[in-house]
Amino acid sequence: MQELVRKLLEELGEDPGREGLLNTPKRVEKALRFLTSGYEADIDAVLNNALFTVDYSEMVIVKDIDFYSLCEHHLLPFFGRCHVAYIPTNKVIGLSKIPRLVEVFSRRLQVQERLTSQIADTIQEKISPLGVAVVVEASHLCMSMRGVQKQNSLAVTSAMIGAFRDNARTRMEFLELIKVRGAGPSPRDWAAATEACAEEA
């Protein structure tokens, strides 16, 4: 990988032998290995048997989970917050494991839509709850740094399964509970970005 980075620097018109770039290939490889470490993660190992039998059937929410990922179209970052909810039947997931689950899927080359679905589908698969809801809000540097250069665009995606899809009151309760604190936008104000980076090859 380091040799590929040196070649890339040359193709960009740089001198990979100059002082400031001498260790850049090593740094880039280390950074990319970290940012894509989700490929090597084992979901069951991440959850680490943190699935517990409980007598609880109300909504469980973990919100404002920060995440960072790389857009698979341009290898530029997108980042934001993820909100996860589910209604258990007889099992719950240890609360600390939900942010870890988000981290596993975000540390891959991604599109926001797939990231959202992967989180929801995994929770559904592991504990078979009555419903799962995931909302992801993110800023994409492939939109703000290049292309349409829309600095304040916010892309919002959601995945609703089971009770969250079928029951409007349950869905609205979730959306009300994840309203962003402070000056941030509420779910009613969210608007998905109209241009996707994929449209600008």
* CB contact at 8 A, 143 and 195: yes
Name beta bridge partners: 21. Answer: none
pLDDT in tens for each of the 201 residues of the chain? 999 999 999 999 999 999 999 999 999 999 999 999 999 999 999 998 899 998 888 999 999 999 999 999 999 999 999 999 999 999 999 999 999 999 999 999 999 999 999 999 999 999 999 999 999 999 999 888 876 666 677 899 999 999 999 999 999 999 999 984 433 444 444 433 333 444 444
- Catalytic residue (one of 82, 83, 112, 118): 112
Residue 82 annotated among the catalytic residues of the structure:
no
- Catalytic residue (one of 29, 73, 113, 195): 73
Residue 140 annotated among the catalytic residues of the structure:
yes
Q: Residue 28 has which token pair?
A: 């880039």
d(CA 55, CA 65): 26
d(CA 65, CA 59): 17
The pLDDT value given to residue 118: 98
Q: Length of the chain in residues, anyone?
A: 201
Residue 151 annotated among the catalytic residues of the structure:
no
- Catalytic residue (one of 74, 83, 118, 197): 74
Closest-CA residue to 110 (of 71, 56, 74): 71
Residue 74 annotated among the catalytic residues of the structure:
yes
Residue 83 annotated among the catalytic residues of the structure:
no
The pLDDT value given to residue 149: 63
Residue 71 annotated among the catalytic residues of the structure:
yes
Q: Residue 52 has which token pair?
A: 């517990």
Burial of 46 (0-12, 13-18, 19+ CB in 10 A): middle
- Catalytic residue (one of 82, 110, 140, 197): 140
Q: Where are the alpha helices (DSSP H) in 41-111?
A: 43-47, 97-106
- Catalytic residue (one of 2, 14, 29, 72): 72
Domains of the chain in start order, with CATH, are 2-35 (no CATH), 42-199 (3.30.1130.10)
What sign has the CA pseudo-torsion 54, 60, 63, 68? positive
